[in-house]
Chains A and B, each alone.
Chain A
Amino acid sequence: MQNVGGESLLVPIGARVVDVNGIIVLNDTARCVWELLAQERSVDELASAVAEKFDVDFANARVDVQTFLDEIAHLQALQS
């Protein structure tokens, strides 16, 4: 994750540069999830952390987390 002027960015590396062909700007929730993903975690664990940090209910947090995970999975930005 990179930071430009306070904005958090994901930059593709390796052969992914051609397929992603862009940069990904993370909002606060996405940045929180991305940082937590330094370790393997379940979706529920991530949603609980987001709900606590941003003072939102668990169900909404889980939807947001799953959306983010789906997007970065589509971009093949995660390795298990």
Chain B
Amino acid sequence: MTALPTDYSSLIRELQHRAALIRQPVSGVFELTERCNLSCQMCYVRHSARDLAQRAKELSAAEWLRLAHDAADNGMVFLLLTGGEVFLRPDFFEIYTPLTRMGLILTIFTNGTLITDKIAQRLAEAPPSLTEITLYGATAATYETVTGLAGSYARCCAGIEALLKHRVPLGLKTTITRHNVGELEAMQQMARNWGVSFAGAWMLSKRRDGNHSEVEDCRLSAQECVSLEATDRISADEWVETAFRDSSLNKDSNFNCQAGKTAFVINSSGEMNPCLSLSQPAVRPLDIGFRAAWEGVQRFVGDAPPPVSTCRTCDTRSYCPRCPAWSAMETGTLTEAAPYLCDIARLRKEHYEGMQGLAP
């Protein structure tokens, strides 16, 4: 018998590898709402907390629990609850509390600003394995420039303190933008002071729904990304980086991550997709059953056309983080090159091969 921490990444990777061989949908994401109380310009979802049309589309607590039981019966063990902002849902604990009795490894993503002492106390009764709060700055001025909501920095810090007080497992991360990159080290120091982990993601995509995005006003330049990455001050996004590492293995395969092999997402209106960044194939497990929906997602991934030939033959391919979801959000196709990522790949190649003396 071996007891290992749940963040022991090699164990989790090995379990995912074994699950992928039998296409076990071991990792689920429930996007409980697409609404958020913050208004971050760079967000790939970005619906207002008061968006009644969005709210009307959201599944009920009973529907989420039915999906959870169906998914668990089909092999789901890891479940991420995310949004939008999950604590906007007044019925959050009607969903969460029954989930804690199902033997699932639960994670919650939140911005922390709605976490009161009472909410932290309720979470502590049956805590998730991890609560991840995204920190948008180390000062109120920067944080609120990103989130667009006065007072949100203090409320986020209060949420963090409440979770720590009640011993709810907590990690911090940040979404790095032009507006907060200057406070990256200060945010890391905040995490150290609180005694929690910290990670950063800087690959900001356009909106998933194809609506107008202001992300290009927020993104770091490709050069800034590569420089930041090279200084090892941040941890790159794990999903994208997993795809990045594996993409050189199969030139014709488009999906090179766990999406559709072990992982699925159900969005707020009950559509199942391979990952959070894709809105296809939008199969509906509540209508056709979980197993049929999961098979639909597998087919979508398995039948996906290969990347365009310019990508397949590109000499920076092994440095490129492009995936079908990124192509979808940047170009509207599953296959086309995303120019922002082309620039990152080219600069990565120059940087890393230059370091090894391989560059011309």
A-side interface residues toward B, CB under 8 Å? 1-7, 9, 11, 13-15, 17-18, 20-27, 30, 68, 71-72, 75
Which of chain B's residues has its CB closest to A71's CB?
A: B1
- With contacts A2-B103, A24-B2 known, is A15 near B127, CB below 8 A? yes
- Hey, which chain A residues are within 8 Å of B124, CB to CB? 15, 18
Contact with A along B58-87 (1 / 0, CB 8 A): 000000000000000001010000000000
The reply to whether the CB of B3 lies closer than 8 angstroms to some CB of chain A is yes
A11-B102 Cα distance, complex, nearest whole Å: 10
Chain B nearest CB from A2 CB (Å) reads 5
Chain B nearest CB from A58 CB (Å) reads 20
A27-B1 Cα distance, complex, nearest whole Å: 6
A15-B19 Cα distance, complex, nearest whole Å: 28
A22-B26 Cα distance, complex, nearest whole Å: 17
Binding-face segment, B4-12, B179-187, B214-222, B300-308: B4-12
- Hey, which chain B residues are within 8 Å of A25, CB to CB? 1-2, 4, 11
- Mark out the residues of chain B between 1 and 33 whose CB falls within 8 Å of any chain A CB in the assembled complex: 1-6, 8, 11, 15-22, 24, 26
Place the interface of chain B in its size category: 35 or more
Chain B nearest CB from A46 CB (Å) reads 14
The reply to whether the CB of B41 lies closer than 8 angstroms to some CB of chain A is no
- Mark out the residues of chain B between 98 and 132 whose CB falls within 8 Å of any chain A CB in the assembled complex: 100-105, 124-129
Which of chain B's residues has its CB closest to A24's CB?
A: B3
- With contacts A21-B169, A22-B4, A22-B8 known, is A5 near B105, CB below 8 A? no
On whether the beta carbons of B2 and A5 are closer than 8 Å, the reply is: no
One of A6, A13, A20, A68 near B101 (C-beta < 8 A): A13
Which of chain A's residues has its CB closest to B99's CB?
A: A13
Task: Across the A-B interface, give the 7 residue pairs with the lowest CB-CB distance, nearest first.
Answer: A5-B18, A5-B19, A22-B5, A4-B15, A14-B126, A30-B1, A2-B77
On whether the beta carbons of B169 and A5 are closer than 8 Å, the reply is: no
A23-B24 Cα distance, complex, nearest whole Å: 18
- Hey, which chain B residues are within 8 Å of A75, CB to CB? 3
Which of chain A's residues has its CB closest to B1's CB?
A: A30
On whether the beta carbons of B4 and A23 are closer than 8 Å, the reply is: yes
The reply to whether the CB of B192 lies closer than 8 angstroms to some CB of chain A is no
Chain A nearest CB from B157 CB (Å) reads 22
A56-B102 Cα distance, complex, nearest whole Å: 35
On whether the beta carbons of B17 and A23 are closer than 8 Å, the reply is: no
The reply to whether the CB of B299 lies closer than 8 angstroms to some CB of chain A is no
A21-B243 Cα distance, complex, nearest whole Å: 28
